[in-house]
Amino acid sequence: MRLDKLLANMGFGTRKTVKDVLKSKEVTVNGLVEKEGKKQVNPEKDAIAVSGEAIQYQEFVYFMLHKPQGVVSATTDNVHKTVIDLLQPQDQSRDPFPVGRLDKDTEGLLILTNDGTLAHNLLSPKKHVDKCYQASIEGIVDEQDIQEFASGITLDDGFNCQSAKLEIESIDVEKEQSVIRVTIHEGKFHQVKRMFEAVDKSVSYLKRLSMGEVQLDETLKLGEYRPLTKAELDSLTHS
């Protein structure tokens, strides 16, 4: 790959501004000063350093985003802001994409990566990675709903969901609203909303709390993100 792309990928600026880093003669390839951004390097074999510090190139990036409402889970969109627009330019330059989708009005945990294999494994229906959501529901959720979710809800298109764990957090009898947690194993389009429609209720707010063992880091404000820790990443690759 080009040296300027590698430097930009590793956070030393944009493809344009790394020119200045190169001009400053601070970059060495195998011990020799290199000023040409177009120089081809092999991150696996070449020893690349900036200001004497070796660069450990990472092929893949893995981020946890606290997705806010109003942005779409896509890499490009002609109308709406995307989750990629929330990333810093140097992180965007790694070409990450969202692992699965959250609706535009859903908040919470979204994993972004450029590792196609990990994304494929996490989304594979065979792997049954649990996804836990918190939701506000219009209607009073009761024991019968819990039983129906446990037996497997049938969606409007005839799809039979696997058993889902529904837990009631609180009920407001006067307003006829409930706050619940639900854990599902698949990732059908609008699945949680459609599961509640199947029991004649509607979702007014939805937030994803976890995916597999990875919990949303509540210290991240809406729209903020951070790299996955090694433990989080290991839990996903071994799930």
Catalytically active residues, by annotation? 103
Alpha-carbon span 122 to 237, nearest angstrom? 8
The contact set with ligand URA (CB under 6 A) reads: 102-103, 106, 190-193, 206
Q: Shortest distance, CB of residue 59 to ligand URA, whole angstroms?
A: 29
Alpha-carbon span 214 to 192, nearest angstrom? 19
C-beta separation of 97 from 63 below 8 A: no
From the list 9, 216, 41, the residue with the least C-alpha distance to 133 is 216
The tokens describing 211, both together, are 């995916």
Minimum CB distance to ligand URA smaller for 92 or for 183: 183
The separation between CA 167 and the C-alpha centre of its own chain, rounded to angstroms, equals: 24
Q: In what order do the strands lie in the sheet with 53-54?
A: 32-33, 27-29, 48-50, 53-54
> Nearest 10 degrees: CA dihedral of 41, 47, 51, 52?
-170
Minimum CB distance to ligand URA smaller for 5 or for 165: 165
Q: Shortest distance, CB of residue 201 to ligand URA, whole angstroms?
A: 13
Minimum CB distance to ligand URA smaller for 55 or for 65: 65
Minimum CB distance to ligand URA smaller for 94 or for 193: 193
